[in-house]
Amino acid sequence: MSKKRFSTLAVSEGEEPTWEGVGDAVSPIHLASTFALPELDPDMSLEELDPDSGDYVYSRLSNPTRNALEHRLAALEGGEHAFAFSSGTSAISSLALAVVTPGDHIVAFEDLYGGTRRLLEDLFDERLDVEVTFVDATDPDNVADAMRPETEFVWMETPTNPLMQLCDIEAIAEVVGDDAVFGVDNTFSSPYFQQPLELGADVVAHSTTKYINGHSDSVGGAVITDDDDLAEQIEFLQQVGLGDMLPPFDSYMVMRGVKTLPVRMRQHEANAQVIAEYLEDHDLVTDVFYPGLESHPQHELASEQMSGYGGILSFELDGDMSDARAFLESLEVFTLAVSLGGVESLIELPAGMTHEPLDPEEREARGITDSLIRISVGIEDIDDLVEDLDRGFEAMETERSAVAGDD
């Protein structure tokens, strides 16, 4: 078979039209928890079952729908092995558990998704005796300085949430070398815009809840790697150690959602670029954080390591939390909600929503102010999106005049 390109793999990798002799053009949903065996084989080893050859016994171990999805995700990230979990959080947690043991050390980007930061601090550092050092990984030298002989895992996100900071995957891969496992959370870019394994990472994780599924109707996660030994550990945790895997129905949803990943990502990005430029020119905005803007301090790095700048951006209103509230509550097209990566535009106030659990001092230190707004730009008509933001700014001005007693 000839080697297929990304958009073709997104549509067809893992589909087996001849399955079950009825020629389904898309993989059916196999809901069975257990599978009839053709014969009694007392020597059957559960560890040596090969789902690709039709060896199905029990759905926690392997399931045809999940197996099809895992093949597709591996192909899209350019890896050999993929494992689908019941959330992005469980994917990242299982991956870390597959790598470290008590007494080990982890180096992680300080600007991580809040949930990942919490699991590293509260589960690994506090309970499992795995010390975690958070660094400003925008400079790879800081990663190098934090490495110790007992460092086994280096964990990065790029771009980060919500300030869209980048780290240089190739440079950090060089710093880490063979001393530790280097993993990247590729949720924000999706494999369509960024391929960390090709840039030297050992393993990639996703919250498939976001762009990969793309329709805000399934929670899931995935880990993808080329490393056979690491894959064996992850497989053990997914199927035996934790028994945490993506159920068949969600596997089907993600198989279906990911087919349109390339077209969605192109539209997300096109809309995000227009909105970023619109906000950059607006008098009521003091800062815009989007790697596609030339004003982004790491625009050059973004152009080198990403093939597109993605659909997430954040901006600083020239105002306070009550201005932000007036702005957000007046919107008609954007939905005020956490999460990201769906076809619909979502908007949120990190200080009061996604990043509210952080201490106010920590938020301030990280630049997450009370007037910082994050947008996950959807694929709607761009004119409706811009008109909606106009509405938000008008509401903010009306609120200000009311407070000042102008009307």
Query: Does residue number 233 form part of the binding site for ligand PLP (CB under 6 A)?
Result: no
Choices 82-90, 168-176, 263-271, 321-329 (CB under 6 A): range interacting with ligand PLP: 82-90
Among 89, 218, 225, 233, binds ligand PLP (CB under 6 A): 89
Catalytic residue among 56, 72, 111, 113: 113
Give the residue from 203, 199, 159 showing the smallest Cα distance to 184.
Answer: 203
Query: Does residue number 115 form part of the binding site for ligand PLP (CB under 6 A)?
Result: yes
How far apart CA 392 and CA 389 sit, in angstroms, is: 5
Query: Does residue number 348 form part of the binding site for ligand PLP (CB under 6 A)?
Result: no
Among 62, 207, 239, 298, binds ligand PLP (CB under 6 A): 207
Nearer to ligand PLP, 63 or 354 (CB): 354
The CA–CA distances, whole Å, from 288 to 282, 297, 337, 338 equal 10, 11, 20, 19
How far apart CA 10 and CA 75 sit, in angstroms, is: 8
Please, what is the minimum distance in Å from the beta carbon of residue 197 to ligand PLP? 17
Choices 4-12, 28-36, 112-120, 380-388 (CB under 6 A): range interacting with ligand PLP: 112-120
Nearer to ligand PLP, 62 or 186 (CB): 186
Give the residue from 113, 70, 81 showing the smallest Cα distance to 258.
Answer: 70
- Which residues are 145's β-sheet partners? none
Query: Does residue number 87 form part of the binding site for ligand PLP (CB under 6 A)?
Result: yes
Nearer to ligand PLP, 272 or 396 (CB): 272
Is there a catalytic annotation at residue 210?
A: yes
Among 59, 142, 158, 187, binds ligand PLP (CB under 6 A): 187
The answer to whether 226 and 246 are in contact (CB under 8 A) is: no
The 8-class DSSP code of residue 240 comes to I
Choices 168-176, 181-189, 344-352, 367-375 (CB under 6 A): range interacting with ligand PLP: 181-189
The answer to whether 176 and 184 are in contact (CB under 8 A) is: no
The answer to whether 61 and 220 are in contact (CB under 8 A) is: no
Is there a catalytic annotation at residue 113?
A: yes
Catalytic residue among 66, 72, 210, 374: 210
How far apart CA 361 and CA 331 sit, in angstroms, is: 30
Residue written as token pair 């068949």: 248
Query: Does residue number 376 form part of the binding site for ligand PLP (CB under 6 A)?
Result: no
Query: Does residue number 221 form part of the binding site for ligand PLP (CB under 6 A)?
Result: yes
Residues in contact with ligand PLP, counted by CB under 6 A, come to a total of 15
How many CB atoms neighbour CB 283 within 10 A? 7
Torsion of CA 383, 384, 385, 388, to 10 degrees: 120
Sequence-distant (6+) residues with CB within 8 A of 41 are none
**Omega into 140 within 30° of 0, i.e. cis?**
no
Nearer to ligand PLP, 207 or 371 (CB): 207
Catalytic residue among 55, 58, 60, 118: 60
What the block records as the tokens of 344 is 């619909």
Give the residue from 103, 111, 95 showing the smallest Cα distance to 156.
Answer: 111
Please, what is the minimum distance in Å from the beta carbon of residue 354 to ligand PLP? 7
How far apart CA 188 and CA 376 sit, in angstroms, is: 10
Query: Does residue number 213 form part of the binding site for ligand PLP (CB under 6 A)?
Result: no
Query: Does residue number 185 form part of the binding site for ligand PLP (CB under 6 A)?
Result: yes
What the block records as the tokens of 174 is 């060089």
Please, what is the minimum distance in Å from the beta carbon of residue 274 to ligand PLP? 23
Choices 103-111, 184-192, 240-248, 382-390 (CB under 6 A): range interacting with ligand PLP: 184-192
Is there a catalytic annotation at residue 281?
A: no
Catalytic residues: 60, 113, 185, 210
Binding site for ligand PLP (CB under 6 A): 87-89, 113, 115-116, 157, 161, 185, 187-188, 207, 209, 219, 221
